Amino acid sequence: MSWSKTLSDGLLRNQLGRLDQLQGYPELPARQQVMVKTLRQLADNSRTFLVDLITWFVDNAQTCPGPAELQERAREMRTAHQEQKPLGNPECEQCRGLGYYIVVRRVTLPRLEAYWATGAKRCGCAPPEEKKEN
């Protein structure tokens, strides 16, 4: 088993240190250790997530968050991330990550005038559509 991806204490402490301008920043090593531990759990080995989390408090907070505030914010970030997650592959040229693309087709039905119909077609890069009841 490799632990190489685990975020280093140095990185975690570094990021925690960005909060030291905020009121209530923990000066005691024991309290900092609690924060580092919390950050490690919340970041879940994602350096980007860790940096984004700390940046949010640097930009928005007046007082230094405690573990509970960090957890709360991390949960909100994950929720927002899931909502924005594109359906398809962002690299896909067909749909540009939307997971579907617009198709136009000519519909010809007996006894009706032919017409053009547009619709969204599920792109091959997206997971299969869940079956809808109808």
Q: Which residues bind Zn ion (CB under 5 A)?
A: 88, 92, 94-95, 123, 125
Could you tell me the smallest distance in angstroms from the CB atom of residue 86 to Zn ion? 9
Asked if residues 103 and 109 have their Cβ atoms less than 8 Å apart, the reply is: no
How far is residue 35 CA from its own chain's centroid?
22
Can you point out the beta strands (E) in 1-134?
100-107, 115-122
CB of 87 to Zn ion, least distance (A): 8
Looking at the Cβ atoms of 50 and 125, the one nearer to Zn ion is: 125
Burial 55-77 (b: 16+ CB within 10 A, else e): ebbeeebeebbeeeebeebbeee
**Is 35 or 125 the residue whose CB approaches Zn ion more closely?**
125
Least Å distance, CB 104 to Zn ion, is 17
Residue 125 CB, shortest distance to Zn ion, in Å, is 3
Task: Please identify, using beta-carbon distances, which residue of 17 and 124 lies nearer to Zn ion.
Answer: 124
Q: What are phi and psi of 37, to 5 degrees?
A: -65, -45
Nearer of residues 60 and 118 to Zn ion, judged by Cβ: 118
